């Protein structure tokens, strides 16, 4: 980005020579990284972080029933808006059998309560912060006005918060200041128009420098958007539609969640201890907050709405029967809603913050048998994710139509008025280790990209190691990976793309919806906290 062509220069159509050269620059970067090094890195999934070891005994897998997060009831549905209230507070839960674990929660549970919405019907959520630190709520994947998008310095301060560093929006110890921060005390109303394709969104904390530990402690929940068109498809529904929030955690001897924070109070000093600069991994796999759970199913199709809410762990999911047969994972949707047509996978890679909407068919399997959801990238206990136990015969009138949606964007390269390059690489900041976008650490006061509302742009993203890159506000299409066509799981409209080591991917998007300041960043939460974020100003 800063290497060349930062702004919108040149004519509105066709690429200037400078921009074309810019693409060459990105390729040069990959060459410099060394593709063989990249290939070697790609074979080492551990590169996404260092694993913590739990200090309490862990339960055997497939004992705890899969919890389904409660659906939150609106406090009012008057005036065409659904209004909700969520209190962020400390709570404790029995995540491991017989062990109490203190958590930071939305409404007392982890995951937080699920919000169910209809497309185009606005939702207002009043968040009340009763936690001991400032918080920020972001609806990931939401097409949200900037004022409600949860910018990291738009803090909601807890009662009696006297830390002067946060009144400037950012720890002044780093000499940063965000004049545009909108800080509130105790509560804040977030408004979500939800004028967008139906899909699985999630809300999570986004506080400057402290997002990773806040999510780790429990500040994450689901938000599902639906519409009549999707409802009419006949996909598996009701008890046969299962949201699955997958997240790894580790437990300290006292039952609390272990996390290598430099400042365990999460009040002042951000960051993690050195071995975890690349990311924090746990040795326990939770689904909807339960360790290696089991769910009883009918001999029928199920719709799994999978979210990887882990800070840094990548998964490659497979569904394996008792006799070692792999079941098809029929993908019907991506981060930003339905695909044009279903795509059948044998294994599905899922990076932090990505979502996949998948149909799995348990019909024909013997009652009493089990199907394991397995992570091919895990080892030992982290290979298992959860299991489905075939409990009963049942009829199934669900369908998986050959055409799922006809409203996907059709942007082409020739529509793009700008082509920009961004590198995502390790580097130095604040005199220590950081993760940088275009060679720079995040600065809320710096505008990295200025774009015009409605403009189509092609972005070329280049990575050193694994980086799941997320854009706020917009969905995008993947055009290429390392000069080759996208992978099968890149289909559909995405808001997070998993860059593999040494990879250069091209995405295309249209910056529409709202003007204002938005983020794009790596969703490895530790990388994000270590400055791998940048600003887009939509004018």
Q: Does 19 bind ligand C2O (CB under 6 A)?
A: no
Residue number with CB closer to Cu ion (140 or 143): 140
Q: Which of 106, 152, 527, 536 binds Cu ion (CB under 5 A)?
A: 527
Task: Return the sign of the alpha-carbon dihedral for residues 249, 251, 257, 259.
Answer: negative
Interface with ligand C2O includes 519 (CB under 6 A)?
yes
- 8 A C-beta contact, residue 460 and residue 484: no
Closest to 111 in 3D by CA, of 201, 11, 32: 201
**CA nearest to 209, candidates 243, 182, 264, 170:** 170
Q: How far is Cα of residue 535 from the mean position of the Cα atoms in its chain?
A: 18
**Which is nearer to ligand C2O, 362 or 518 (by Cβ)?**
518
Measured from each CB, the residue nearest to ligand C2O is 140
β-pairing verdict for 449-451 and 533-538: parallel
Is residue 493 within 8 Å of 336, Cβ to Cβ? yes
Point out which span in 75-83, 258-266, 306-314, 517-525 binds ligand C2O (CB under 6 A).
Answer: 517-525
Residues linked to residue 257 through DSSP beta bridges, in sequence order = 251
- Selection from Cu ion, ligand C2O, none that 295 binds (CB < 5 to 8 A by kind) is none
Number of residues that bind Cu ion (CB under 5 A): 6
Among 311, 509, 524, 535, binds Cu ion (CB under 5 A): 524
* Residue among 251 and 356 whose Cβ is closer to ligand C2O: 356
Taking the C-alpha atoms of residue 104 and residue 112, their distance in angstroms, rounded to an integer, is: 10
Contact 282, 13 (CB under 8 A): no
Closest distance of CB 220 from ligand C2O, Å = 9
Min separation Cβ 377 and ligand C2O, Å: 21
524 binds, among Cu ion, ligand C2O, none (CB under 5 to 8 A by kind): Cu ion
Q: Would you say 93 and 289 are in contact if contact means Cβ atoms under 8 Å apart? A: yes
Q: Does 312 bind ligand C2O (CB under 6 A)?
A: no
Ramachandran class of 84: left when φ > 0, alpha when ψ lies in -120 to 50, beta otherwise: beta
Q: How far is the CB of 204 from ligand C2O (least distance, A)?
A: 6
As a three-state string, the secondary structure of 154-199 is CCEECCCCCCHHHHCCCCHHHCCCCCCCCCEECEEEEEECCCCCCC
| Contact call for residue 353 and ligand C2O (CB under 6 A) | yes
Binding mask 196-215 for ligand C2O (x = CB under 6 A): --------x-x---------
Number of amino acids touching ligand C2O (CB under 6 A)? 10
Interface residues toward Cu ion, by CB under 5 A: 140, 467, 472, 522, 524, 527
Interface residues toward ligand C2O, by CB under 6 A: 138, 140, 204, 206, 353, 470, 472, 519, 521, 523
């Amino acid at each position: 980005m800063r290497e060349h062509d930062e702004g919108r220069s040149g004519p509105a159509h066709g690429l200037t020579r400078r921009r074309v050269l810019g693409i060459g620059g990105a390729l040069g970067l990959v060459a410099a990284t060394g593709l063989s090094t990249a290939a070697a890195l790609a074979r080492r999934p551990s590169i996404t972080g260092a694993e913590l070891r739990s200090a309490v005994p862990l339960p055997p897998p497939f004992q705890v029933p899969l919890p389904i997060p409660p659906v939150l009831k609106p406090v009012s549905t008057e005036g065409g808006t659904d209004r909700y209230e969520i209190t962020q507070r400390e709570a404790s839960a029995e995540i491991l059998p017989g062990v109490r674990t203190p958590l930071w929660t939305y409404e007392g549970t982890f995951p937080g309560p699920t919000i169910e919405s209809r497309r185009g019907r606005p939702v207002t959520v009043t968040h009340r912060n009763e936690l001991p630190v400032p918080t920020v709520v972001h609806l990931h994947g939401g097409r949200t006005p900037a004022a409600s998008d949860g910018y990291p310095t738009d803090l909601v301060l807890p009662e009696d918060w006297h830390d002067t560093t946060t009144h400037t929006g950012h720890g002044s110890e780093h000499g940063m200041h965000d004049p545009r921060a909108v800080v509130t005390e105790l509560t804040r109303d977030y408004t979500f128009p939800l004028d967008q394709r139906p899909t699985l969104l999630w809300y999570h904390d986004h506080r400057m420098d402290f997002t990773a530990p806040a999510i780790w402690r429990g500040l994450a929940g689901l938000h599902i958007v639906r519409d009549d068109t999707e409802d009419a498809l006949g996909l598996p529904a009701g008890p046969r539609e299962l949201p699955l929030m997958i997240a790894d955690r580790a437990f300290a001897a006292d039952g609390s969640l272990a996390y290598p924070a430099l400042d365990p109070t999460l009040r002042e000093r951000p960051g993690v201890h050195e071995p975890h600069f690349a990311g924090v991994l746990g040795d326990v796999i939770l689904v909807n907050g339960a360790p290696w759970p089991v769910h009883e199913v009918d001999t029928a199709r199920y719709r799994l709405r999978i979210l990887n809410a882990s800070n840094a762990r990548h998964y490659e999911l497979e569904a394996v029967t008792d006799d070692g047969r792999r079941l098809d994972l029929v993908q019907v949707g991506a981060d930003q809603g339905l695909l044009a047509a279903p795509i059948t996978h044998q294994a599905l890679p899922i990076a932090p913050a990505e979502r996949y909407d998948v149909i799995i068919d348990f019909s024909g399997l013997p009652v009493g048998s089990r199907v394991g959801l397995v992570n091919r990238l895990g080892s030992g206990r982290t290979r298992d994710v959860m299991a489905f136990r075939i409990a009963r015969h049942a009829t199934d009138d669900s369908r998986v139509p050959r055409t799922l949606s006809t409203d996907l964007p059709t942007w082409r390269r020739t529509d793009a008025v700008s082509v920009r390059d961004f590198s995502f690489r390790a580097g130095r900041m604040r005199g220590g280790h950081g993760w940088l976008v275009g060679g720079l650490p995040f600065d809320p006061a710096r505008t990295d990209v200025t774009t015009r509302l409605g403009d189509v742009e092609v972005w070329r993203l280049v990575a050193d190691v694994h980086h799941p890159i997320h854009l706020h506000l917009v969905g995008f299409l993947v055009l290429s990976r390392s000069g080759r066509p996208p992978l099968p799981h890149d289909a559909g409209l995405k808001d997070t793309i998993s860059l593999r080591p040494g990879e250069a991917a091209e995405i295309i998007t249209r910056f529409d919806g709202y003007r204002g300041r938005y983020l794009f960043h790596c969703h490895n939460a530790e990388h994000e906290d270590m400055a791998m974020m940048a600003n887009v100003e939509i004018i």
